[in-house]
Amino acid sequence: MDLLSQLLRLLKIQSYGAAGLDAGGDWAIQIPAHEGMKVFVVVHGNCFVSLDESGPSFEVNAGECFLATQGRPFRIGNGAPVEPTSAGSLSPSVFDGRIVIHNGGGEFLAVVGFFSLAGQQKDLLLSALPPVIRFGEGRDRETMEWCVKRLTSELRDPGLGTHALAEQLMMMMLVQALRSSVAKGTCSRSGWLAVLADPRLRAALGAMHEEPHCRWTVQSLAAHAGMSRTSFALRFRAAMGIAPLDYLSRWRMLLAQDKLATSLKPAADIASEVGYDCERSFSRAFKRANGCSPRQYRLSAQSRNTAKSIN
């Protein structure tokens, strides 16, 4: 499995809604704070987005998407100095899977997807996302335009399976946007995407991900990157935001959490698979990182999964 797919799987990114906004005239909408992440794709027209009430705004044109990360509220509009309408007061709601016509519509169309991140260490992904990711050219643009066209059609004329289809289309759009950001180097200077955009660091990251049980050292990871120990350590910290072995510890914990939540493997086996010599040292490290023992974590995860299946 490639690195980006690994990250998205373990972060448990799930699409939990899609909707559209068709606006016209002078307009502005205030989007409240939210959990997870929103991706806003402009189909035609343009809009201005402000992350802070008094802060500067930036323009998003047709063929571009805006990712709202870390749950921050934001304002979107055509740039006119009008009092914003609360998204919650729109009818139908912008969160209920349909296209909302606001102020007559006809001049601006966007589709928006809402994503939850259930996995740990999500800050390493979210901190790397730029505010705007352009679709790019060639295959990237063609794929995104196809997804947007299909999603818009489903939202305009919903039928059997629309919700399921919309979720899959939004996931395709999110992955395409992240892929484009890595390929074009538009991700921020720290986080997973910044490392994926660096071929040398990506090689070392891949080694850690493929063999988390190995006794990695900074020197052995530097060899995978084709760099000196010092240069690698400095470059990795600058890109990821933490030192290589600190990242390795976090990655091992992320794997352990996933294995505890999704399998019945004994803790001793999981400890060995993620690079710990014995169950005791693994349990100590796990409790230090998560505030609970592996057993408590597994019981809590099983309880959450049972509740979800009932609901």
Q: How far is Cα 234 from Cα 185, in angstroms, rounded to an integer? A: 19
- 47 forms beta bridges with 60
The count of other CB atoms within 10 Å of the CB of residue 243 is 14
Instruction: Give the model confidence (pLDDT) of 64-101 as tens digits.
Output: 888 777 777 888 999 888 998 888 787 655 556 678 88
Instruction: Give the model confidence (pLDDT) of 163-213 as tens digits.
Output: 888 888 888 888 887 887 777 766 666 678 888 889 999 999 999 999 999
Domains of the chain: 3-184 (2.60.120.280), 198-310 (1.10.10.60)
- Is the pLDDT reported for residue 274 higher than 90? yes
Measured in residues, the chain has a length of 311
The token pair that represents 285 in the structure block: 């490290």
**Is the bond into 158 cis (omega within 30 degrees of 0)?**
no
**Residue bearing the bigger pLDDT, 218 or 163:** 218
What pLDDT does residue 58 have?
85
| DSSP string across 238-250 | HHHSS-HHHHHHH
Type of residue found at 93: S
The edge-to-edge listing of strands for the beta sheet with 13-23 is 99-102, 13-23, 108-117, 37-44, 64-68, 132-134
Res. 259 pLDDT band, cuts 50 70 90: very high
Name the pTM for this structure: 0.75
Which H or E element spans position 15?
strand 13-23
- Is the pLDDT reported for residue 23 higher than 90? yes
Q: How far is Cα 117 from Cα 129, in angstroms, rounded to an integer? A: 14
% of the chain surpassing 70 pLDDT: 84
